[in-house]
Structure 1
Amino acid sequence: MTIVVTGVAGFIGMHVAEALLARGQPVIGIDSVNDYYSVALKEARLARLADKPGFRLVRADIADRDAIQAQAPAMADATGMVHLAAQAGVRYSLENPYAYIDANVMGHTVMLEAARRMPKLEHVVYASSSSVYGGNKTLPFSVADRVDRPVSLYAATKKAGELIAHCYSHLYGLPATGLRFFTVYGPWGRPDMAAYLFADAIMAGRPIRVFNQGQMQRDFTYIDDIVGGVLGTLDNPAPPDADGVRHRVFNLGNHRSESLMDFIGVLEQALGRKAQMVLEPMQPGDVAATFADIEATRAAIGFTPRTPIADGLPRFVQWYKSYHGIAG
């Protein structure tokens, strides 16, 4: 019943670990707690998990082969792995490309090597990204679409991760499912994502940068819906495909493509303040719109997202104010 969760100090990782522990499954959490964004926020997430029965934290870099290999005895009884650790962020990949190769290619391979040697393992669920769709102009994005034209190194490493996982499934019979996450937000969210970035600026009276002159759409997906999708996937190991390979890819999105300006409007209302906006051109590596086709995910695991931004953003704001000690 033990589940290995990498990236456990991360936004999605913490929530997934909490959900697993709540249903009585022990969790071995792995995280390097790096400083890509606030270490204090990551430590606060870990503090929520620290005293829960069944939780064990391993502070290690997934790209460190020796460190992960040293955990082999502890992971021997694990029946599942939720591999979420990665170097995130499209724009940062322009500044530090090596971090993406280290975490998203080497680290991904190290964890798959560990997984194939875990005798009781039934399923690996790993994080991919909607970024793999690149400049795809056909909406909604379907898992059947071509994804061989990435527009950022981040996207290229995520697609590489899917190919590597497919190879491990083919060679070693490893059941694996990749999840293409679509713009996840909610309580304990990442400070480099839109909801947190905008809330910080609005509350401080700073202008927010709105790219592509505001002509952006995103399939904003609330964290509780994402966690339901992750656990539903974990509980349903990938069956063999037509070639006998136990690998597949799902979209996890809200199946709603929201205008960025509408998103800002809902956030303003929840915060009780107006945003000062600076309209800027499209940024390198970015795309104008994302929209998830989730029919395959719904058919396979019953995935049904239920949270529109009108409900999700006020919940995020409530957490944001509490975390930062803001009254009201």
Structure 2
Amino acid sequence: MNILVTGAAGFIGYHLCRRFLKMGHSVVGLDNLNAYYSVHIKQDRLSQLHEYEHFQFAKIDLADKKAVFKLFQEHDFSHVVNLAAQAGVRYSIENPGAYVETNLVGFSHILEGCRHGGVRHLVFASSSSVYGLNTNMPFSVHNNVDHPISLYAATKKSNELMAHTYSYLYGLPCTGLRFFTVYGPWGRPDMALFLFTKAILEGKPISVFNHGKMRRDFTYIDDIIEGVTRITGRTPTANPHWDSNAPDPSSSVAPYKIYNIGNNNTVELGRFIEVIEDQLGKKAEKQYLPLQPGDVPMTFADVDDLIADVGFKPSTPIEVGIAKFIEWYRDYFHV
């Protein structure tokens, strides 16, 4: 495959590019290297990808329509995996414009590039945040997600709707992936595991939201990547049983599909912190705070469709995943 991976310098993008390259595929990695978090760690990820012969990097902002279209004209992409996005639920409350520009305008450019470039399969990152006010657990792709509570979540839901439209109108096969709290080596510095590890090692307090009663379906990066690679190679087809009188949100009469990729196990934040403390051999000083605007108290992924269609179920326990992250963190920062 000749694959475009957007957000290639990001946490998931870096790991996905490396997996595709090890599988023998050609990869063009796109990223704008924005300063939402440390550009240095993004550059360090890219330096590892440049060691592979069949990797090319394109420093492009998805909002730059001409540059995106030129990239599609220069490369005959067979597959596109769109991971580029302005991330972060809380940041979307402070800077909504950044989410509109990248997650909506930028994604429209990807869709147009795929449409005119004859791309055989577009895989794109959605998010567990689209479930919003839903409380029926575990979260199922067969349930409606019409009540997001952050602009980030709303843009991800919008991506699903935009992709379905292109799938229906132009026959573009599209698969959306709802990721659940991804963590692991090379993780984002704005995510809880990174923040907690750094603060505990430095003897600084950690912020524990919803007074520690948050629950998350923490999903280890290797499980995410295994799911994405399997799905990329599985082009969706129309669901012959789709019923317009009782529409299934996860499929369509068009070549379109939505999956959850989560660990199918919800863990209380307090337990997550305990495992970090155990691995570091040091207790955290905790500052208990209320639930933040835009956050949901619990996530829990139903992955039955993922298992049925690609034969894979994420299963890495947090005790294993956190240990691997902390090993990487100590090595990377020479702690």
Structure 1 stretches (4+) deviating beyond 2 angstroms?
A: 72-75, 241-244
Work out whether 1:155 is the aligned partner of 2:164.
no
Aligned ranges for residues 238-277 of structure 1 at < 5 Å? 238-241=236-239, 242=242, 244-277=253-286
Which residue is 1:317 aligned to? 326
Instruction: Provide the rounded CA distance (Å) in 1 between the counterparts of 2:209 and 2:75.
Output: 44
Instruction: Provide the rounded CA distance (Å) in 1 between the counterparts of 2:137 and 2:196.
Output: 26
State the 1:244 CA deviation. Answer: 3.0
Instruction: Provide the rounded CA distance (Å) in 1 between the counterparts of 2:96 and 2:201.
Output: 32
Identity %: 50
Amino acid at match of 1:112: L
Deviation per residue, 1:123-160 (Å, 9 max, x gap): 11000000000021111000011211011010000000
Work out whether 1:56 is the aligned partner of 2:53.
no
Instruction: Provide the rounded CA distance (Å) in 2 between the counterparts of 1:210 and 1:127.
Output: 27
Match of 1:204 among 190, 202, 210: 202
Which residue is 2:247 aligned to? none
Which residue is 1:216 aligned to? 214
Amino acid at match of 1:215: K
Amino acid at match of 2:107: H
Amino acid at match of 1:255: N
State the 1:74 CA deviation. Answer: 2.5
Which residue is 2:246 aligned to? none
Instruction: Provide the rounded CA distance (Å) in 1 between the counterparts of 2:233 and 2:290.
Output: 43
Which residue is 1:34 aligned to? 34
Which residue is 2:24 aligned to? 24
Contact 2:141 2:258 in 1 (8 A): yes
Work out whether 1:89 is the aligned partner of 2:88.
yes
The SS at the match of 1:138 is coil
State the 1:73 CA deviation. Answer: 2.8
Which residue is 1:100 aligned to? 99
Deviation per residue, 1:79-116 (Å, 9 max, x gap): 11111000000000011000000011011110011011
Amino acid at match of 2:152: Y
Which residue is 2:234 aligned to? 236
Which residue is 1:109 aligned to? 108
Aligned ranges for residues 132-211 of structure 1 at < 5 Å? 132-211=130-209
State the 1:27 CA deviation. Answer: 0.1
Instruction: Provide the rounded CA distance (Å) in 2 between the counterparts of 1:157 and 1:72.
Output: 24
CA RMSD of aligned residues (A): 0.8
State the 1:272 CA deviation. Answer: 1.4
Which residue is 2:73 aligned to? 73
Contact 2:171 2:255 in 1 (8 A): yes
The SS at the match of 1:71 is helix
Instruction: Provide the rounded CA distance (Å) in 1 between the counterparts of 2:74 and 2:22.
Output: 21
Deviation per residue, 1:249-282 (Å, 9 max, x gap): 1000000000100000001111111100000000
Amino acid at match of 1:309: I
Which residue is 1:10 aligned to? 10
Instruction: Provide the rounded CA distance (Å) in 1 between the counterparts of 2:74 and 2:13.
Output: 19
Which residue is 1:296 aligned to? 305
Instruction: Provide the rounded CA distance (Å) in 1 between the counterparts of 2:264 and 2:74.
Output: 39
Instruction: Provide the rounded CA distance (Å) in 2 between the counterparts of 1:224 and 1:53.
Output: 23
State the 1:69 CA deviation. Answer: 1.2
Q: Can you give the 5+ residue segments of structure 1 that lack an aligned partner in the other structure?
A: none
Work out whether 1:287 is the aligned partner of 2:296.
yes
Q: Can you give the 5+ residue segments of structure 2 that lack an aligned partner in the other structure?
A: 243-251
The SS at the match of 1:304 is coil
Instruction: Provide the rounded CA distance (Å) in 2 between the counterparts of 1:290 and 1:299.
Output: 21
Match of 1:124 among 122, 125, 133: 122
Instruction: Provide the rounded CA distance (Å) in 1 between the counterparts of 2:274 and 2:170.
Output: 49
| TM-score of the aligned structures, taking structure 1 as reference length | 0.97
